[in-house]
Each structure stands twice: as C-alpha cells, then as structure tokens.
Structure 1
Amino acid sequence: MTTRRTFSKLLAAIPVVGLMSTAAMAQDLREITFVQPSPSAINSFPVFVAIGEGYFEEEGLNVTVEAINGSGAVLQALAAGQAQFGRPGPGPVLAARSRGEDAVFIYNVAARSNFGIVVREESDIQGPEGLRGKVIGTGTADGAEVGFARNVMTSVGMTAGEDYEFLTVGDGGPATVGFTTGAMDAYSSSTADAAILNQRGMAVRDITPPEFARFFGNGIATMGDTIANDPELVEKFIRAFARGHAFALDDANREAVLSHLKDGNPQEGEDPEFQSALFDAVRSKTIPVDMTNGLGYLPPEVWEEWQESLVAGGDLPAPLDDLTAAYTNDFSAMAHEAMK
C-alpha cells in the first residue's frame, strides 16, 4: 500500500529538509537519519521515493533526511554519530579513510559521473588544457566536485595552486554571479548544477573529456561500526533504497515519483517542466552501463582509478593500506537478489 508522507522543512544555519511521517510516528519504527550534501530532493531521489512509497516503513524504519553543505560535512555527521547513512562522493570517502575515519561506501547511486567542468557557452575554452592560469569555481571547499575537477586537471598535467586555482563560490545563484563577475572561468558542477545554471539563463557547456564518465559519483555510505554491529539495519536501508531507485526508473511511475520529490523539496517542484527535465538528467546518471550486477554495484577497477588520481592530485598522501575496505558490494547484491 502506498503511504503518503507529511514533509516538514527544518530550519538551521544550513538548509535542512526533514521528513517525518505522522503515520509512522504512531508505530514502533526505528528512527534513522540520512544526510545529503545539498537540499535537492532530485539528487537523492531514491530516498524520497522509498519514503513516499512506504518502503522504509515496511522495513521498520522512519527516515529523516537532512541537507548539509558538501560531502565533507556528510562524513563528519556520520563519524560523529549524528546520522546513520549519507550520500558523499568517493573522493571525500577515501580522503576520510586516509585520516583514520572508517567510512564505507555501500551503494553506487551516480553509476556514471554526475560531475563535469563547465564554461560559459561563449567561452573560447574548449577543454581542460585551456584552464591553465584560470580559476575553477566549486560549490564547496571539500566536496566531491573538487576531487573530480582535480582528477580531470591532473590528467592534463596541471596542479592546483600552481597551474590553476580553485575558488569556493557556492551553487545556484552564487555560481551565476561567479561567472558574470569574472571571478571564475569555469565551474566544477554536478548534472543538477549545470541544469540549474542553464535554466536561469547562464548558458554553460561541458568541457570534460568523455573518458571521465566512468568515474562514478556520490553514493550511499555508512560507518564501519554500523556494518559490523548492525548489519541488519544496513541491509534494510539499502533494500528499501534500491526499491525506491528501481521504482523511479520505471516511467510508468513518473507521476508518483515527481510528487514524492515535490514533497521532499517543494521549491524544486514549483516549475514542473524544469523539475521533470532535471529529474531525467539526474536519473540517467544512476543507470549502470552494465546491469549484470544490478543497481548500486561499485566497480573495483574504478575505485583503483579514483585512488590513483587522488594520489596524483595530492588529495591522498599515499594509497590506502587496503582500498577494498573503503567499499562493499555485499548489501547492493542482497538487494538485487531480493528484487529478482
């Protein structure tokens, strides 16, 4: 049975979207917090769909979603025990592990890269080589978009602070200002960021080399202690999440999906045409090229490439002692089997 949720927006120093079900509160459900690196419901659409369709409730969970600023903040919340699950990028997870934080990737949401370096449509810059001596804007100082951009620039032999500069400008309106004032020459953006810039009249184009599409983006993470001490919780969360993901990929469910996303972030639903187009753009990045292993699978070979690029770019001081400890496909495999 589909369960409608009543969503409330929590106000704090940073944007927070809280999701609580009055029906769930009357039941004996376990309270779980999920943190995401931006307020967008579309970027975390499987969570909002799983809430709206009642999949978490069927697993005995009542999930509250809170939006904080960037992957670094997501990992800090997980490490501090303020949340059980979050959606950081792979670069920040590896960096956190190099500092001794036992964060573990458990589901690949953005199976195809959901980041790109964009420039203004009329810019003469045609590729990353054209950014020598230039400024690349980012939404956050330590988010996944920074590691991605550094990775791209390392591939053409350039080092941040020497050959180009990063500038934290924020997303949305501040990114538009960054371009119009000339404070930045390019912007490392998510698929959603680029769509929003274009929708607001700041036409941009992607100059990222196509080979970087294999570098998956943000996914679901938790702490190693949670996996060791409460594996049943992780299994339940990922099973419901994967069901929400699969439901949203079926166009027959489109109307229900967009309704759930509007409940999660009413502002994104104010322009239905834009909401629909943005959802299509984000959703397309979550479909694996090879569905053999189902949704959520994390390719070990791309983890190796991520680590190599982060070491080369200076984001990691050295390769991790055990890269395989940074991720697991166990829970996505369980969910895949359960949905067959």
Structure 2
Amino acid sequence: MITRRLITAGLIAALPLAGIVANQAVAQDMRDITFVQPSPSAINSFPVFVAIGEGYFAEEGLNVTVEAINGSGAVLQALSAGQAHFGRPGPGPVIAARSRDVDAVFIYNVAARSNFGIVVREDSEIQSPAELKGKVIGTGTADGAEVGFARNVMAGQGMIAGEDFEFLTVGDGGPATVAFNSGEMDAYSSSTADAAILNQRGMAVRDITPPEFARFFGNGIATMGDTIRNEPELVEKFIRAFAKGHAFALDDANREAVLAHLKDGNPQEGEDAEFQSALFDAVRSKTIPVDMSKGLGYLPAEVWEEWQASLVAGGEIAAPLDDLSAAFTNEFSAKANEALN
C-alpha cells in the first residue's frame, strides 16, 4: 500500500527508488535540483518522471531528484525554506501562502481540469454536496489542495467549514477506507488518484461534485519569486524539460515507455500493471487543457480570480491579495510550448 510520508519540510525524505536523477552518469557540471511533490505517487507527477527517464532534464544540464512530503503546505514550506527548487502544490495553498507574504509563484498548470472531487460511498444516500450539512468531510492532509477544493464546493452551497460541516484529516488509501467503514466521515475530498485507489481496493465510491467545478484547475508547478528573478534561465530549463515530458506522455505511441518510467519512480504503483495503466489514464486526462490553443501549462487568470473568491468566502484568507497576478505567470509555459512546436 502506498502511504504518504508524514514528515516536516525540514526533514524531507526521498521516495524509495524515486529519488532518481536525470542521468545515472551525472557529469560534474550538472546542476542538482530538488523537486518536491505532495504525495509519493509517481503517476500524479508523471511529466517529471518521464522527463527524467527520457533524459530531457539531463539535456538541460539538470540533475533532478524527486522527494515526497505530505501535502501542498509542506511543499510550500520546503520551497520557502530553500530546501527545494520546484514543487507541485495546489493553487489554493499558493494563494493562502501569499496572503502570509510567502512569495510562491505558480509557473505551469499540470492538472488543467480539476483533479479533485467530493466522493461518497457508492451505497450512500447522499446525492449532492447540499446534503452534507452537519456532516464530516475527510481529507488526505490538513492543508492540501483537496481541502481548498472542498471549501470551494461547499461555499457554492452556502456552507462554511466549522459552522455547517466539519473537515477531518484521515489520510489516504487504507486510512480513508477505515474512516468510511467506521463512519468517521460521510464524504471524502479526493484526488482522481485517491478515488481510483479506493475503488480498486474494494471501497466503491462515487463523485457528487457539481460539474461546474471542473474548471477549478488543480496542482501545478511552483517556485519562489526569488528564483524567477535571479535565475530565470533555470526556471526556463526546468519547465522546458517538464513540458517535453508532459507532451511525450500524452502520445499513446509512447505508453509502454511512460509506464516503465513511472514504475521506476514508484515500484509499488507498478506492481499491478493493469491498475497502474488505468490510474495513469485517469490522471493524464485531467492534464489535457480544455483549450489547447494556448498550449500545455497555461494558467487562466479568470479561474485564479474564482479560486481567490472562494478562499475569501470560506474564510481561508481574510481578504483578496493586493496583486493576485503576482501569484502566477504564463511566461515559462509559453516559452516551453514554443520549443515543442
């Protein structure tokens, strides 16, 4: 069973066999780069592992090591503490961090379509979020992107956490199954991968998220503002290699190679080849932009506004940011797309 590493940003630990590098024979002039992700899943960060396996980072002179920590909050702590160069947090946590003067910046939209949903047991009588008044919604982490997403959905129903419903941090995988079976939670705010794992392990769930929330993109690539200002070429190199990995994985002709790279990144996920393949399909589908005219990784400003409004309505931040546009940039994804074309 795949479990999240419950560690602080100051104690980052590498994934088993996933702290792999962009080139096994690393040249002395290669730049060591640390990438942090909010769970151990290689599939959820598939462009990184494909870019490593295909040598795209090595071509840019980057020796990338992947580390797994627990949730978007920990990812942002690692970035702000200088313990990592790039990470994969959610947009809600990035906005919340910026409200606390943490200069984190989103630079690539990975989950271009919402990769979260509120699910209930298949046999539950609950049919919509409106029926969760007075209920408990479980989450994998206390401050991850899934929490912000659930706040969003519930705010759309006129409900606020702590007043109309409760959040309960239960973890993912096995612990989430236990929480459903024990009745500790009535619903679960899950990623596409989390829901697939629950179903695969015999805990049948169904998504009750209203369709209009599909526009709320999920986790993406972030770095610190200082990195962008002081080392723009590093950011450009990382995102160019990442986008190449993303594009390579979207081509079904490369499927066998992609799944092999993901198994290298997390051997446990590759133990069941059929499940690995199905989970990859589910996660990959969320990374395909609704409008491909702007290329891969594009961040729509209007959805950032909606994310911020939902955080204010849910009480997660006290007021809108002075400059929301500083929270994201499309500069590097645009350059990466030019390189792809």
Normalised by the length of structure 1, the TM-score is: 0.95
For the 8 Å contact 1:71–1:92, the answer to whether it is kept is: yes
Give 1:257's aligned residue: 258
In 1, Cα distance between the equivalents of 2:308 and 2:331? 21
Stretch moving more, 261-270 or 153-162: 153-162
User: How far off its partner does 1:316 sit?
Assistant: 1.1
Give 1:7's aligned residue: none
Give 1:16's aligned residue: 14
Stretch moving more, 18-27 or 320-329: 18-27
In 2, Cα distance between the equivalents of 1:262 and 1:27? 27
User: How far off its partner does 1:157 sit?
Assistant: 0.7
User: How far off its partner does 1:25 sit?
Assistant: 2.4
User: How far off its partner does 1:16 sit?
Assistant: 3.0
SS at match of 2:313: helix
Give 1:30's aligned residue: 31
Give 1:238's aligned residue: 239
The change in CA–CA distance for 1:15 and 1:176 in structure 2 (over 3 A counts) is: farther
For the 8 Å contact 1:14–1:69, the answer to whether it is kept is: no
**Counterpart amino acid of 1:190?**
S
SS at match of 2:269: helix
SS at match of 2:294: coil
Give 2:337's aligned residue: 336
In 2, Cα distance between the equivalents of 1:310 and 1:29? 40
The change in CA–CA distance for 1:15 and 1:182 in structure 2 (over 3 A counts) is: farther
Give 2:135's aligned residue: 134
**Counterpart amino acid of 2:188?**
Y
In 1, Cα distance between the equivalents of 2:72 and 2:247? 24
In 2, Cα distance between the equivalents of 1:280 and 1:15? 28
- RMSD of Structure 2 on Structure 1 (CA): 1.4
In 2, Cα distance between the equivalents of 1:38 and 1:102? 22
SS at match of 2:105: strand
User: How far off its partner does 1:136 sit?
Assistant: 0.2
SS at match of 2:157: coil
Deviations 1:271-309 (A, max 9, x none): 000000000000000000100110000000000010011
Give 2:197's aligned residue: 196
Give 1:49's aligned residue: 50
Q: Which runs of 5+ in 1 are unaligned?
A: 1-9
SS at match of 2:292: coil
User: How far off its partner does 1:146 sit?
Assistant: 0.3
Aligned pairs (5 A) from 1:261-276: 261-276=262-277
The change in CA–CA distance for 1:21 and 1:158 in structure 2 (over 3 A counts) is: closer
For the 8 Å contact 1:35–1:68, the answer to whether it is kept is: yes
1:278 pairs with 2:276: no
Deviations 1:40-78 (A, max 9, x none): 000000000000000000000000000000000000000
Give 1:68's aligned residue: 69
In 2, Cα distance between the equivalents of 1:317 and 1:239? 36
In 1, Cα distance between the equivalents of 2:72 and 2:255? 29
Deviations 1:101-145 (A, max 9, x none): 000000000000000000000000000011011000000000000
User: How far off its partner does 1:27 sit?
Assistant: 4.0
Give 1:3's aligned residue: none
Give 1:158's aligned residue: 159
SS at match of 2:20: strand
Give 1:229's aligned residue: 230
For the 8 Å contact 1:24–1:57, the answer to whether it is kept is: no
Normalised by the length of structure 2, the TM-score is: 0.95
In 2, Cα distance between the equivalents of 1:177 and 1:90? 29
The change in CA–CA distance for 1:339 and 1:163 in structure 2 (over 3 A counts) is: same
Give 1:321's aligned residue: 322
SS at match of 2:238: helix
The change in CA–CA distance for 1:16 and 1:23 in structure 2 (over 3 A counts) is: closer
User: How far off its partner does 1:26 sit?
Assistant: 3.8
For the 8 Å contact 1:56–1:237, the answer to whether it is kept is: yes
User: How far off its partner does 1:24 sit?
Assistant: 3.6
User: How far off its partner does 1:19 sit?
Assistant: 1.2
Q: Which runs of 5+ in 2 are unaligned?
A: none
In 2, Cα distance between the equivalents of 1:125 and 1:11? 31
Deviations 1:165-221 (A, max 9, x none): 000000000000000000000000000000000000000000000000000000000
User: How far off its partner does 1:22 sit?
Assistant: 6.1
SS at match of 1:266: coil
Deviations 1:72-108 (A, max 9, x none): 0000000000000000000000000000000000000
1:187 pairs with 2:188: yes
In 1, Cα distance between the equivalents of 2:301 and 2:336? 19
1:117 pairs with 2:115: no
Give 1:90's aligned residue: 91
User: How far off its partner does 1:14 sit?
Assistant: 7.1
Deviations 1:224-255 (A, max 9, x none): 00000000000000000000000000000000
In 2, Cα distance between the equivalents of 1:278 and 1:194? 10
Deviations 1:149-178 (A, max 9, x none): 011001011111111000000000000000
